[in-house]
Amino acid sequence: MINLIILPGDGIGPEIIKQISKILKSLNIFNIKINIIYSYIGGISIDKYNIPLTKKTINLCKNSDAIFLGCVGGYKWEKYYLKPEMGLLELRKEFNFFANIRPIKCPFKNIDFIILRELNGGIYYGKPRGISKQIINNIPTWYSYNTEIYNEQEIIKIARLGFNLSKNRKKKLCSIDKSNVLETSKLWRKIINYIHNYYFDVKLKHIYIDYSTIELIKNPYIFDIIITSNLFGDILSDECSLLTGSLGMLPSISLNNKSFSLFEPCHGSAPNIAGKNIANPVGTLLSLVIFFEYVLNNKFISNKLYFSIFKTLSLGFGTLDMKNYLNNFKLVSTDEFGDLVNHFFLIND
């Protein structure tokens, strides 16, 4: 029996999570039993318990085989000291989810690569950080600072995963950094080069982050695995989502050393469209595809779900954000999209 904890979170989180709950219910007819519990993270947890991630939620996660998350954040908590996003960052740190795999795959185009984002370090967690006041030019002035830090061990860990993933794909790894300016990137590049010695059959290329944004739009077909830091990976994955239609399309899996994993779409909580039943659930549904493959170890079910999503999109059904992307576009709501995918998932063909 697999134990899954679902944390819907804020904004569009509950709406998109509802669509995977439908599929998980349908698993009954395939005689697959998953034990599911729900808990809180982010803004909704702040509202209930004054903190974005409680010990109780952490303990429930510890007793599960995998975590499934919607998204966190929203206008309501912008002025709060403890932000919803801190709950997600704490969760990633608590379980040492050091690697975040974001597949950029478009079934309608020949695009199929992976962004491997370092997830436990860099400027997201570096100290010192803060906002303070200082006298500058005789004027009391606010100033703010963050620190980007990477140590050798952190880079080695993510580099090894990158090269290992490459071995099972096209044996092409592209590392993205800013080593013409940043020390952290200089060390990053040096260590990636060093680890490359152990994987001489993988072709390694380094490019700078600024130029990579152009290459990713102009020539996305040349990429296979991209390895990059926490911040760069966050930014680049939003850019790359447009290659597949919209930000709502991307799934992700975060891993630690103990084959425990966190599944979540790459997008945020989109408070501007929350509660309207118009959010795109594809990123979440695709995260479930990856869950079926790697946690359930069931290729039949993961393929079945993938083709159900693909079929729905191929027929032109999509949420509003997919309007200019799909042929014969037919507008459907979040719920209707989920129902269509579930329908195709349940029929035998």
Residue 76 corresponds to which tokens in the numbers above?
């309501």
238 is catalytic: yes
* DSSP 8-state class, residue 146: -
Residue closer to ligand IPM by CB (options 5, 270) is 270
Measured from the CB of residue 238, what is the shortest distance to Mn ion in angstroms? 6
- CB neighbours of 233 closer than 8 A, spacing ≥ 6? 100, 102, 115, 116, 117, 118, 119
d(CA 330, CA 96) in angstroms, rounded, equals 42
Residue 88 corresponds to which tokens in the numbers above?
């997600």
Catalytic residue among 22, 83, 157, 178: 178
Reply yes or no: is the peptide bond before residue 107 cis, omega within 30 of 0: no
Residue closer to ligand IPM by CB (options 73, 338) is 73
Answer for the pair 11, 71: CB distance below 8 angstroms, yes or no.
yes
266 binds ligand IPM (CB under 6 A): yes
Catalytic residue among 65, 238, 335, 339: 238
Measured from the CB of residue 90, what is the shortest distance to ligand IPM in angstroms? 11
Q: Which residue is nearest to ligand IPM (CB)?
A: 85
Count of residues engaged in binding ligand IPM, rule: CB under 6 A: 7
d(CA 327, CA 67) in angstroms, rounded, equals 35
Nearest to 46 by CA among 74, 15, 5: 74
339 is catalytic: no
264 binds Mn ion (CB under 5 A): no
Measured from the CB of residue 10, what is the shortest distance to ligand IPM in angstroms? 10
Residue closer to ligand IPM by CB (options 178, 267) is 267
d(CA 64, CA 275) in angstroms, rounded, equals 29
Catalytic residue among 10, 40, 83, 124: 124
d(CA 330, CA 210) in angstroms, rounded, equals 37
Pick from ligand IPM, Mn ion, none: which does 226 bind, CB < 5 to 8 A by kind?
A: none
Residue closer to ligand IPM by CB (options 73, 318) is 73
> How far is residue 274 CA from its own chain's centroid?
19
234 binds Mn ion (CB under 5 A): yes
DSSP letters, 25-53, are: HHGGGGT--EEEEE---THHHHHHHSSSS
| Three-state DSSP class for residue 100 | strand
Query: What residues between 49 and 108 interact with ligand IPM by CB under 6 A?
Result: 72-73, 85, 88
124 is catalytic: yes
234 binds ligand IPM (CB under 6 A): yes
178 is catalytic: yes
d(CA 223, CA 327) in angstroms, rounded, equals 26
Residue closer to Mn ion by CB (options 15, 234) is 234
Measured from the CB of residue 282, what is the shortest distance to Mn ion in angstroms? 16
234 is catalytic: yes
Positions touching Mn ion (CB under 5 A) are 234
Positions touching ligand IPM (CB under 6 A) are 72-73, 85, 88, 234, 266, 268
Residues with catalytic roles: 124, 178, 210, 234, 238
